[in-house]
Structure 1
Amino acid sequence: MVAGEASGDLLAGLLLQGLHARWPGLRAAGIGGPQMRVQGFESWWPHEKLAVSGYVEVLRHYRELVGIRNRLRERLLQEPPDLFVGVDAPDFNLDLEAALKQRGIRTVHFVCPSIWAWRPERAEKLRASADHVLCLFPFEPELLASHGIASTYVGHPLAGVIPMEPDKSAARQALGIGPAEEVLAILPGSRASEIAHMAPRFFGAAVLLRKSRPGLRFLVPAAPGRRDGIEKAVRASRLDGQVRIVDGQSHAVLAACDLVLVASGTATLEAALFKRPMVIAYAVNWLTHRIMRPRQLQPWVGLPNILCGEFVVPELLQHDANPDALAAALLDWLQSPDTMAAVQEKFRALHLVLRRDTPRLASDAIQKVLEG
């Protein structure tokens, strides 16, 4: 298995639970993180090595990433596994899967690349790489079938883990937060490049919000290895002592908060499953944005908006993701409790659509692949 960054590690860890239930003697190894290691996964390289996004950012790490992929490919070809599962990270995994598939190793790709959002040409590469695709979203199998790609909708594992009605009181008690306090969760991303781009903007917005909501508390869950970057951004914003950073515990933070400021990515879906109103923001290197923008196929970038098919929450991108605009959008939520309640109902409906027995459905699909 290969999973990149925190979201892939989380998904792979949940998948491994189902695989171990079906095959108790399963041995899994490759590239992964702490959630996978809890399931007995043997990680040959840390998953943080793959936590790179954007054309320019990838170019800076290109030689190292290719070197890791080449060494991993040779190791797997010398000691062929029964199955290779690439978890997201398509730029890394699809080429690796194609090489393994050509040598007769069965391959599964977990998380359909977002060919419905941008880079539709990736469908042909996916067909050449994966024997089967495990899809998180219900509209994906029909799209893949039109390209001749076998797939199964397995639901989103997070929808089975996150309760339909999160226990806000218990989460607050665990984090030492009073029941009447107003709390903003700030999630600037799990990659170093995301934190560099987003954290200064997010904490700049926090400074502005304190002026109109002096009692507002700020909670930041730090992904493994990212605390230093977040602390640096907090100091630069002169918010020392006013922002509480917790190691991990993103689900506890989302359960405890009233509102979320979040970088676009899997965390936006987690916030939606916790029924929390949010403001989604993202910014990348200007050249990366210039290359990517013409390839965007939908008007939304945030998963909650894509899945709902409308702008249910604000998206502020690139230059629009500035502290003034972010603070204003957050304040709009805080001043509109009826609107907050309405979006929570939309997120409950979305949760029901995504909640399936993912570990069982995924292991059923994988068994069929293994049986040829």
Structure 2
Amino acid sequence: MRVTPDSINPMNAAPQFSLVAGEASGDLLAGLLLDGLRARWPQMRASGIGGPRMAERGFDAWWPSDKLSVFGYVDALCHYREILGIRNQLKAKLLQEPPGVFIGVDAPDFNLDLEADLRAKGIKTVHFVCPSIWAWRPGRVEKLKKSCDHVLCVFPFEPELLAKHGIAATFVGHPLASVIPMQSDKASARARLGLQLKDRVVAVLPGSRLAEIKHLAPRFFKAVAGMVIACPAMKFIVPSMPKHLPLLQKMAQECGVEKHVQILSGQSHTALEACDVTLIASGTATLEAALFKRPMVIAYALNWLSYEIMKRKKLQPWVGLPNILCQDFVVPELLQHEATPQALADATLAWFDAPEKIASLERQFTLLHTQLLRNTSELAAHAIDQVINQTA
């Protein structure tokens, strides 16, 4: 079946969109995008693969987003058959009932191949969040060109880079820059968590995916044990997805720190706003920490084979988004074998003795926040509207 331009009416008051978002970060971004689509088309409908934030906005999730949550090459191989099955079922459904536009939100390993198949059949495709071709896997740009009618970019330098390859793109700002206030309210956040303004507080974020937590949480909790010895009065807050609460509680107990950590159900933004420093897994959460202007220690560890593969494809010396965007090691990164509990504890504690360094970091992160701040929902909806009208 091939979708013809006449089968999509750009003037339709209730266009139908299909979205696929993987993991918690994709669910957050897609939820904010849905706000913009709803503002532009109040009667629009949206379905596909999504999480709780999308569901709150009326999204019809045929599969939950955590089905696509994998960690490294080895984890992806273990779940390959299930994920491929979901993609094939989704593709068949979308070809049978074509949406006005398909929007892949991040998750490039899943979305780009699906987008290419749909586009070949005449369905317009938009990819939200440019894959990090400037950081690693530059060969992916050709797949992006084949897969997408338009790319919504969250960083300002990306559209020019894509234009060199003949890919239409729009910088829409980063949605998190409009969600997180330019000036955070540490006192209010601490009050909500029962903490005092005088407390020394570390937010511990070992990731949102199960495999991430299994690799990182034990190291993080052992680092907490070391910090407790150095500073017994220090407070530790650990935001968690509700489904991971029992596992984190068990890990904290096994590491002997269950009495020293406050494990929260959700509330990652409250934790970042309340803390002085965060020990954090590399990923979108590090950008959230930067937008809250918090010093951090970025860590990552995964299966050794996945790490070796990824290391060979890396184009820049940095892994954490704050360092990549600032083009400098403004915060420490401890990866794989370097991410020992002692090293993590030492690097985290070091921030408490570096007020001048923190002040400089806050200025850099404020500038970064300003650069990323746009009306993302409105700009994204406008770009998608133009894609729809190109079919007429």
Calculate the TM-score normalised by the size of structure 2: 0.94
Aligned to 1:235: 253
Aligned to 2:283: 265
Provide the C-alpha distance between the structure 2 equivalents of 1:283 and 1:125, rounded to a whole number of angstroms. 28
Aligned to 2:155: 137
Q: SS at the partner of 2:208?
A: coil
The letter of the residue matching 2:107 is: A
Provide the C-alpha distance between the structure 2 equivalents of 1:223 and 1:273, rounded to a whole number of angstroms. 21
Q: Is 1:299 the counterpart of 2:307 in the alignment? A: no
Provide the C-alpha distance between the structure 1 equivalents of 2:163 and 2:192, rounded to a whole number of angstroms. 46
The letter of the residue matching 2:388 is: L
Q: SS at the partner of 1:28?
A: strand
Using the aligned pairs only, state the percent identity. Answer: 61
Provide the C-alpha distance between the structure 1 equivalents of 2:159 and 2:71, rounded to a whole number of angstroms. 26
| 1:142-157 pair list within 5 angstroms | 142-157=160-175
Provide the C-alpha distance between the structure 2 equivalents of 1:97 and 1:88, rounded to a whole number of angstroms. 12
- After the TM superposition, list the runs of 4 or more consecutive aligned residues in structure 1 that deviate by more than 2 angstroms: none
Aligned to 1:18: 36
The letter of the residue matching 1:163 is: P
| 1:38-77 pair list within 5 angstroms | 38-77=56-95
Provide the C-alpha distance between the structure 2 equivalents of 1:327 and 1:195, rounded to a whole number of angstroms. 18
Aligned to 1:366: 384
Provide the C-alpha distance between the structure 1 equivalents of 2:286 and 2:342, rounded to a whole number of angstroms. 21
Q: SS at the partner of 1:218?
A: strand
Which of 285, 292, 309 in structure 1 is aligned with 2:327? Answer: 309
The letter of the residue matching 1:98 is: A
Note the C-alpha offset of 1:224: 3.9
Provide the C-alpha distance between the structure 1 equivalents of 2:245 and 2:100, rounded to a whole number of angstroms. 38
More moved, 259-268 vs 331-340: 331-340
Whether contact under 8 Å (1:192, 1:229) holds in the other structure is no
Aligned to 1:208: 226
Which of 82, 101, 114 in structure 2 is aligned with 1:83? Answer: 101
More moved, 337-346 vs 201-210: 337-346
Whether contact under 8 Å (1:51, 1:191) holds in the other structure is yes
Note the C-alpha offset of 1:239: 0.8
Note the C-alpha offset of 1:223: 1.9
Q: Is 1:356 the counterpart of 2:374 in the alignment? A: yes
Calculate the TM-score normalised by the size of structure 1: 0.99
Provide the C-alpha distance between the structure 1 equivalents of 2:173 and 2:129, rounded to a whole number of angstroms. 10
Provide the C-alpha distance between the structure 2 equivalents of 1:44 and 1:285, rounded to a whole number of angstroms. 31
Provide the C-alpha distance between the structure 1 equivalents of 2:75 and 2:356, rounded to a whole number of angstroms. 41
Note the C-alpha offset of 1:202: 0.6
| 1:103-122 pair list within 5 angstroms | 103-122=121-140
Which of 215, 221, 227 in structure 1 is aligned with 2:239? Answer: 221
Q: Is 1:185 the counterpart of 2:174 in the alignment? A: no
Q: SS at the partner of 1:165?
A: coil
More moved, 335-344 vs 258-267: 335-344
Provide the C-alpha distance between the structure 1 equivalents of 2:254 and 2:360, rounded to a whole number of angstroms. 36
Measured against aligned partners, the alpha-carbon deviations of 1:122-145 in whole angstroms (never above 9, x if no partner) come to 000011111000000011111111
Provide the C-alpha distance between the structure 1 equivalents of 2:143 and 2:247, rounded to a whole number of angstroms. 36
The letter of the residue matching 2:122 is: G
Q: In the comparison of the two structures, how many residue pairs are matched?
A: 372
Q: Is 1:174 the counterpart of 2:168 in the alignment? A: no
Aligned to 1:159: 177
Aligned to 1:34: 52
Q: SS at the partner of 1:298?
A: coil
Provide the C-alpha distance between the structure 2 equivalents of 1:231 and 1:85, rounded to a whole number of angstroms. 37
Q: Is 1:2 the counterpart of 2:20 in the alignment? A: yes
